[in-house]
Amino acid sequence: MSGHSKWATIKHKKARTDAARGKVFTKIIKEITTAAKVGGGDPEGNPRLRLAVDKAKEANMPNDNIKRAIDKGAGGGGAAMEELAYEGYGPGGVAFMVEVMTDNRNRSAGEIRSIFEKGGGNLGATGSVAYMFKRKGSIIFEKGKVEEELLTMTAIDAGAEDILSEESTIEIMTTPENFEKVRNGLKAKGLIPYSAEVTMVPDTTVKVTGEAAQKVLNLVNKLEDHDDVQAVHANFDISEAEIEKLQ
The answer to whether 97 and 76 are in contact (CB under 8 A) is no
From first to last of its 247 residues, the chain has per-residue pLDDT tens of 445 666 666 666 666 555 555 778 888 999 999 999 999 999 999 999 999 999 899 888 899 999 999 999 998 776 778 999 999 999 999 999 999 999 999 999 999 999 999 999 999 999 999 999 999 999 999 888 999 999 999 999 999 999 988 878 899 999 999 999 999 999 999 999 988 889 999 999 999 999 999 999 999 989 988 999 999 999 998 877 777 776 6
184 shares a domain with 97: no
102 shares a domain with 20: no
Please tell me the total count of domains within the chain. Answer: 3
108 shares a domain with 144: no
Full domain range(s) for residue 154: 133-202
Three-class DSSP labels, the chain:
CHHHHHHHHHHHHHHHHHHHCCHHHHHHHHHHHHHHHHHCCCHHHCHHHHHHHHHHHHCCCCHHHHHHHHHHHHCCCCCCCEEEEEEEECHHHCEEEEEEEECCHHHHHHHHHHHHHHCCCEECCCCCCHHHEEEEEEEEEECCCCCHHHHHHHHHHHCCCEEEECCCEEEEEECCCCHHHHHHHHHHCCCCCCEEEEEEEECCCEECCHHHHHHHHHHHHHHHCCCCEEEEEECEECCHHHHHHHC
CB-based burial of residue 53 (10 Å sphere; 0-12 exposed, 13-18 middle, 19+ buried)? buried
The answer to whether 132 and 203 are in contact (CB under 8 A) is yes
Q: How far apart are CA 158 and CA 180, in angstroms?
A: 10
The one-letter amino acid at 50 = R
CATH number at residue 118: 3.30.70.980
CATH number at residue 66: 1.10.10.200
113 shares a domain with 14: no
* CA-only gyration radius of the chain, Å: 18
215 shares a domain with 94: yes
pLDDT number for residue 12:
60
Give the CA diameter of the chain.
Answer: 51
138 shares a domain with 229: no
Q: How far apart are CA 241 and CA 239, in angstroms?
A: 5
The one-letter amino acid at 161 = E
Nearest by Cα to 227 from 104, 97, 62: 104
226 shares a domain with 115: yes
